[in-house]
């Protein structure tokens, strides 16, 4: 976007100046990591992590608006970085992600996504000096060597298919090797795993949505398949429902490593920018402009009502700005803030999202915690467990249903008991060789949980029903952020990492920073909390407020924002 370009260069220049003064890139010639970027807390360089540095160095060297324009140090750093990258490629054309994956074609693909555009920048702007020719040769060699890995390698996870396909598409247009396009089409014929609500298989709002979108955009551009943009549009529109009152993203439904993590929508900047330029969608244009400004301003509170505690950085590779893709001169005809309020039941993926200004709540199936209530920056996650035959007592909702009165019900049912001796003699006394399916079940017990969630003004009411076996100890765990406070008529105490409290009063106020939530309906009939057998371990990153009782039981809890 035109009004972003110069400020993005300014941001990148600051990062480059810091990089050149740092020891992030290994410069000792005798080191196995020479030319690579040492990863903090690992002490070694991941092979593909150098591509961002190579990209920044080459792009800023050629960018006339950069304070590093023509600075030969950048090409020298890129050159030794490329040596490290090339030396990391195996004979089979793959690379390693040393923390977990080896001889991996997807590592190569993630590297190609930015560096193919870097190569095009070099070709477009080169002055033909010796080091520039050397860089061009090494980059082309990298594409040649890794093309074998792209053709013959494989993947682990759904998003990897589109990362691989995007890399195949890029390298196909560089090398002109038809077998690469044919391999890309093998992946594409599986169909894109984005449902009608815009949700990808991994439901990863904090990582893999962005990667899927970026990959599909690349494929659409490189293979002239504009129909792929439709999937990206749906996902980016869906994301409006996942933004919390403190502007973080809800990650409770993710199937990947971002589950429960604190992530912000600035990671979608490039997605929204490119799709705003493609579609003219005023909401996409507003999102990319808003989050660019969040990235640009060091003092996030100047824009947001909440501090996001995140260092600013360049929002995207400059290569795409510098390749005349229309982004540098793009000025939206209209920008319009999307509504982030409303209620949405994503039936396919099993999540309910509700937001009304500074209040939100989230309900998920197949997960524990199953509920999150948030007011401003303060949030409460809720889990439930009972001592029902060990792990079977963990409440993991099997179903979410919409109630006629506008609320929702989440349900769970298990049955377990005991085994009788065999009716007939068996041929072995070895336990593991016995056919235990022939034993009769006896004294079978049911564990039935239904929790109803009803929206109320500025809050929600939980109706908790536990049936089946009688006299079963259970606990509701209300997970509170540390460095907050719990206040009642009789006490005031801080919330601590790994701390816990039993909720013996009827109501308390929970405060985190300047946001407060009133919790009404507390009860405590036993203290079998942290040690309950079979339950989730106590969350040591949070403060746990225990609400305890015995089945069969009916209870109500209310969460309400204090304004």
**CA–CA distance, 345 with 458 (Å, rounded to integer):** 19
Q: Please confirm whether the linkage preceding 509 is cis (ω < 30° from 0).
A: no
| Cα–Cα nearest to 545, from 477, 498, 471, 489 | 477
The answer to whether residue 202 scores a pLDDT higher than 90 is yes
CA neighbours closer than 13 Å in the CB half-sphere of residue 26: 24
**CA–CA distance, 563 with 561 (Å, rounded to integer):** 6
- When pLDDT is cut at 50, 70 and 90, the band that residue 165 belongs to is very high
3-state secondary structure (DSSP) of residue 531:
coil
Q: Hey, which residues does 559 pair with through a beta bridge?
A: 460, 519
**CA–CA distance, 434 with 197 (Å, rounded to integer):** 48
**CA–CA distance, 89 with 232 (Å, rounded to integer):** 32
**CA–CA distance, 358 with 316 (Å, rounded to integer):** 30
The secondary structure of residue 551, as a DSSP letter, is S
Q: Specify the fold of 2-322.
A: Glycosyltransferase (1.50.10)
The answer to whether residue 300 scores a pLDDT higher than 70 is no
**CA–CA distance, 355 with 359 (Å, rounded to integer):** 6
Give me the mean pLDDT over the 342-349 stretch. 96
DSSP letters along 493-551, please? Answer: EE--TT-EEE--SSEEEEEETTEEEEEE---BS----TT-TTSPPP-TTSEEEEEEEES
| Cα–Cα nearest to 399, from 443, 437, 448 | 448
Give me the mean pLDDT over the 239-254 stretch. 96
**CA–CA distance, 160 with 162 (Å, rounded to integer):** 5
| Cα–Cα nearest to 395, from 329, 515, 476 | 476
The CA–CA distances, whole Å, from 378 to 359, 470, 560 equal 10, 36, 11
Helix, strand, coil percentages for the chain (3-state, nearest 5)? 35, 25, 40
Q: Which residues contact 13 (CB under 8 A, 6 or more apart)?
A: 60, 66, 67, 68
Tell the burial category of 457 from Cβ atoms under 10 Å away from its Cβ (0-12, 13-18, 19+): exposed
Token pair 């235990």: residue? 436
Write the pLDDT tens digit of every residue in 399-448.
Answer: 999 999 999 999 999 999 999 999 999 999 999 999 999 999 999 999 99
**Same fold for the pair 2-322 and 342-562:** no
Residue 62: what pLDDT? 97
3-state secondary structure (DSSP) of residue 313:
coil
The answer to whether residue 302 scores a pLDDT higher than 70 is no
Give me the mean pLDDT over the 524-550 stretch. 97
**CA–CA distance, 313 with 309 (Å, rounded to integer):** 13
Residue 309: what pLDDT? 64
Predicted TM-score of the model (pTM): 0.94
Residue 404: what pLDDT? 96
3-state secondary structure (DSSP) of residue 99:
coil
Terminal CA-to-CA distance of the chain, rounded, Å? Answer: 38
The secondary structure of residue 306, as a DSSP letter, is S
CB atoms within 10 A of CB 117: 22
Give me the mean pLDDT over the 312-334 stretch. 84
CA dihedral over 272, 275, 276, 282, signed as positive or negative: negative
The side-by-side arrangement of strands in the sheet containing 485-487 is 399-402, 408-419, 441-456, 459-468, 553-562, 515-520, 507-512, 485-487, 492-494
Residue pair 284/330 in contact by the 8 Å Cβ criterion: no
- Domain coordinates in residue numbering, the chain: 2-322, 342-562
Residue 313: what pLDDT? 63
Q: Where are the alpha helices (DSSP H) in 153-228?
A: 158-175, 178-188, 208-222
- When pLDDT is cut at 50, 70 and 90, the band that residue 325 belongs to is confident
Residue 317: what pLDDT? 73
**Residues shown for the chain:** 563
Q: Please confirm whether the linkage preceding 552 is cis (ω < 30° from 0).
A: yes
Write the pLDDT tens digit of every residue in 207-235.
Answer: 999 999 999 999 999 999 999 999 999 99
Mean of pLDDT over the chain: 95
Residue 324: what pLDDT? 80
Q: Which residues contact 46 (CB under 8 A, 6 or more apart)?
A: 36, 37, 39, 97, 98, 99
* Max Cα-Cα span within the chain: 89
Residue pair 524/504 in contact by the 8 Å Cβ criterion: yes
Q: Hey, which residues does 382 pair with through a beta bridge?
A: 371, 478
Return the CATH number of 342-562, one of 2.40.128, 2.60.40, 1.10.3470, 2.70.98: 2.70.98
**CA–CA distance, 255 with 202 (Å, rounded to integer):** 5
Tell how far CA 374 is from the center of its chain. 19
- When pLDDT is cut at 50, 70 and 90, the band that residue 307 belongs to is confident
Token pair 């008529």: residue? 489
**CA–CA distance, 57 with 211 (Å, rounded to integer):** 23
| Cα–Cα nearest to 237, from 285, 193, 294, 283 | 283
């Amino acid at each position: 976007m035109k009004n972003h370009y110069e400020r993005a260069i300014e941001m990148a220049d600051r990062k480059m100046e810091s990089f050149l003064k740092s020891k992030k890139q290994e410069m000792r010639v005798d080191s196995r990591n020479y030319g690579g970027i040492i990863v903090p807390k690992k002490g070694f360089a991941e092979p593909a992590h150098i591509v961002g540095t190579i990209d920044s160095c080459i792009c800023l060297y050629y960018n006339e608006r950069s304070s590093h324009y023509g600075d030969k140090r950048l090409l020298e750093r890129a050159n030794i970085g490329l040596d490290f990258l090339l030396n990391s490629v195996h004979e089979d054309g793959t690379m390693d992600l040393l923390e977990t994956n080896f001889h991996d074609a997807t590592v190569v693909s993630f590297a190609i996504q930015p560096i193919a555009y870097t190569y095009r920048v070099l070709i477009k702007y080169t002055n033909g000096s010796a080091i520039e020719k050397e860089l061009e040769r090494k980059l082309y060699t990298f594409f040649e060597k890794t093309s074998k890995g792209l053709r013959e390698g494989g993947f682990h996870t759904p998003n990897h298919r589109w990362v691989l396909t995007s890399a195949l598409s890029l390298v196909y247009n560089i090398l002109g090797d038809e077998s690469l396009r044919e391999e890309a089409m093998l992946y594409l014929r599986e169909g894109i795993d984005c449902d009608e609500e815009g949700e990808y298989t991994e439901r990863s709002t904090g990582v893999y949505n962005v990667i899927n979108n970026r990959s599909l955009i690349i494929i659409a551009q490189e293979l002239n398949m504009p129909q792929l943009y439709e999937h990206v549009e749906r996902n980016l529109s869906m994301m409006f429902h996942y933004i919390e009152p403190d502007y973080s993203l809800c990650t409770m439904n993710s199937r990947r490593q971002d589950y429960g993590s604190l992530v912000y929508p600035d990671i979608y900047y490039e997605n929204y920018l490119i799709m705003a330029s493609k579609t003219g969608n005023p909401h996409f244009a507003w999102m990319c402009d808003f989050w660019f400004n969040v990235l640009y301003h060091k003092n996030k509170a100047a824009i947001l009502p909440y501090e996001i505690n995140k260092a600013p950085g360049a929002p995207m590779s400059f290569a795409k700005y510098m390749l005349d893709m229309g982004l540098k001169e793009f000025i939206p005809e209209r920008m319009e803030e999307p509504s982030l309020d409303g209620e949405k039941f994503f039936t396919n993926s099993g999540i309910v999202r509700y937001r009304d200004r500074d209040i939100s709540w989230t309900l998920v199936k197949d997960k524990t915690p199953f509920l999150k209530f948030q007011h401003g920056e303060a949030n409460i996650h809720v889990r439930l467990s009972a001592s029902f035959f060990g792990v079977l007592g963990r409440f993991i909702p099997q179903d979410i249903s919409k109630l006629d009165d506008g609320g929702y019900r989440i349900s769970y049912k298990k049955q377990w008991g005991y085994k009788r001796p065999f009716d007939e003699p068996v041929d072995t006394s070895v336990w593991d060789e016995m056919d235990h399916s022939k034993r009769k079940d006896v004294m079978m017990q049911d564990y039935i949980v239904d929790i109803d969630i009803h929206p109320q003004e500025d809050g929600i009411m939980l109706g908790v029903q536990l049936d089946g076996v009688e006299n079963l100890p259970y606990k509701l765990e209300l997970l509170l952020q540390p460095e907050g406070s719990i206040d009642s008529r009789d006490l005031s105490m801080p919330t601590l990492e790994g701390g816990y409290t039993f909720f013996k009063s009827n109501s308390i106020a929970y405060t985190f920073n300047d946001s407060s939530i009133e919790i009404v309906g507390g009860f405590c009939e036993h203290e079998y909390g942290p040690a309950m057998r079979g339950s989730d371990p106590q969350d040591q990153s949070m403060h746990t407020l225990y609400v305890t009782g015995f089945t069969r039981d009916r209870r109500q809890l209310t969460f309400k924002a204090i304004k």
